[in-house]
Amino acid sequence: MRDQFLEQLQAVFDDLAAICRQVESAVAQATLALMTGDVLTAERVISADVDIDRARERVEDAAFDILSLQQPVAGDLRTVVAALRMVSELERMGDLSVHVAKIARLRVPEIAVPEDARPTIERMAAVAEDMVRRVAQIITDRDVEAAIVLGRDDEEMDQLRRTSFAELLSDDWGHGVEAAVDIALLGRYYERIADHAVSVANRVVFVVTGESPHAVSSH
C-alpha cells in the first residue's frame, strides 16, 4: 500500500513538472508573438491554454484520489496539499501567458512594444521564461538549494519592473496612452509569472523540509 502511495505521489509531481514545461513553452511563444506581431503564434498560445487547464484537472483528480483512498499521514498530507496549490499557480502562469498573447494579437498588424521599450520587456520575458524552466527542474529534483536561489533571483525582475515604470513616466515617452497601458500590463504579467514561479519553488522547499524557505536559508 505504501509503495502504491509513493508511486501515485511521484506521478503527481511528474505531471506538475510536465505542466511547468508547457507553461515555459507558452511564455516563450507568447513573447515571440509579442515581439514579432505574429498573430498565428498568438492564437496557438491562446488555444493551447485548454491543455494546461485539462492537465491541472488531472492533477487535482489524482491528488483527491490520494486523499480519499490512501488516508495520508501528516507529512504526506503536506505534500498532497502543496501539489494542489502548485498546480493552481502553474495554471495561473499559463493564463498570464495568454494575456501576453492577447495583447500581441490585439495590436496586429502593429507590434505592441515600441522599439525603445523592447530591451526592458525582452529582458523581463527572458527572466520569466528562465525562472519557469528552472522551476520545472526544481520540481523534478526536489532541489531545495535551487529553489532558494530562485527566490533571490526574483530581485532582477523587480528591478526591471521599476525600470519599465520609469520609462513610462519619462518625459521622453512619446508613444501615447494605448502603448503605455500595454507596457504597464505586460510588465505586470511577466512580473506575476516570476512571482508564481517563486511561490511554486517555495512550496517545493516546504514539501522537502517542512519549513519555509526563509527558515531553511537561515540555518
Domains assigned to the chain: 2-217 (1.20.58.220)
pLDDT at position 174, please? 93
Taking the C-alpha atoms of residue 158 and residue 174, their distance in angstroms, rounded to an integer, is 24
Contacts by 44-51 with C-beta closer than 8 Å and gap 24+?
45/97, 45/98, 45/100, 45/101, 46/98, 46/101, 46/102, 46/105, 48/22, 49/94, 49/95, 49/97, 49/98, 51/22
Cell numbers 508613444 correspond to 175
Q: How is residue 207 written as a grid cell?
A: 514539501
188-216 pLDDT, tens digit per residue, is 999 999 999 999 999 999 999 988 776 67
Residue 134 confidence class, pLDDT cut points 50, 70, 90: very high
Confidence label for 69 from pLDDT (cuts 50, 70 and 90): confident
Amino acid at 51: D
Q: By C-alpha distance, which of 155, 106, 162 is closest to 131?
A: 155
For 139-189, the pLDDT digits (tens) are 999 999 999 999 888 899 999 999 999 999 999 999 999 999 999 999 999
Q: Answer yes or no: pTM beyond 0.85.
A: yes
What percent of the chain is predicted at pLDDT more than 90? 81
